[in-house]
Structure 1
Amino acid sequence: MRTRTTTTAAIIVAGLLVTLTACGSSDDGKKTTKPTISTEDRAAAREKAGLPPKPDAATTTAYIKALNAIDADIVHGKDEKAVDRGLNTCSSVKSSPKDQAKLVDLTNQRFTSPSHPEGHGAATAEKILKAARTHLCPDF
């Protein structure tokens, strides 16, 4: 239950971050700007949701490389999606750091692809989990 609450909070925070930083246009075609939030507020929101900081380019590259070394179908050309799934995995790690079986199961559910709609299996999920912990949330 706690994992669902944390995951739901993470999704809501992520949605708010996207909404608050987006620009759009009004019905009459004029450009409108929505309020933006500061980097500090964004970091605080991520922390409150149990998410680690957004990885820098080098960390992202190392993480994607690690996933592709396991199986290229894990990322399947969607680097940003793989990073988002990894960050959500870190949220689960933070809420249940000692429950390896639960973390492997959640990781398997998160990391799906068109050729693996039910996940890649427990053995691969364990490797994905290790990559996320190593590269995205080593302090969790």
Structure 2
Amino acid sequence: MSEQKPENGFTSSKILNKELNDKVQNVKKSIVSTLFKIIIALAIIVFSIWFTNSKYLFGGSEILRTAILSTSVFVAGIVLIWGNFARLLIYFKNSVVELKKVVWPDKAYATKMTIFVLIFVTILTIFIYLADFLISWVLFDLLMKKG
């Protein structure tokens, strides 16, 4: 009796449970896959750090060591992105669509706001400098007599 009749517009609870279980299994697989990729990427980076500091490259140039480390970080990044490449492309496409939806301000408004921000930052910088100067003067010159 726990099942709803389809004519009421509800699907049965067995179907809902199966769909929910499928989603949970997909999430678990995704988490395991992501953890595996992170472990592989970290292993690549740790191995390259070990290799550049080992006796095999002892006395090697800094350029070679830097190149090996940079390449390993690049390869680790590829390992992390590889499984999600299609999702990454979809994300970039959606980002371009959202970017086209943005209403950009006109030039006069943007110039006014930029000038306002610059003036505000200048005033805030002067205030922080004066507060720092005052606190330093009180602490070091008056209280500690180190001047």
Name the TM-score, length of structure 2 as normaliser.
0.24
Larger Rg: 2
Higher strand share: 1
Q: Which has the higher helix share?
A: 2
Structure with larger RCO (C-alpha < 8 A, sep 6+): 1
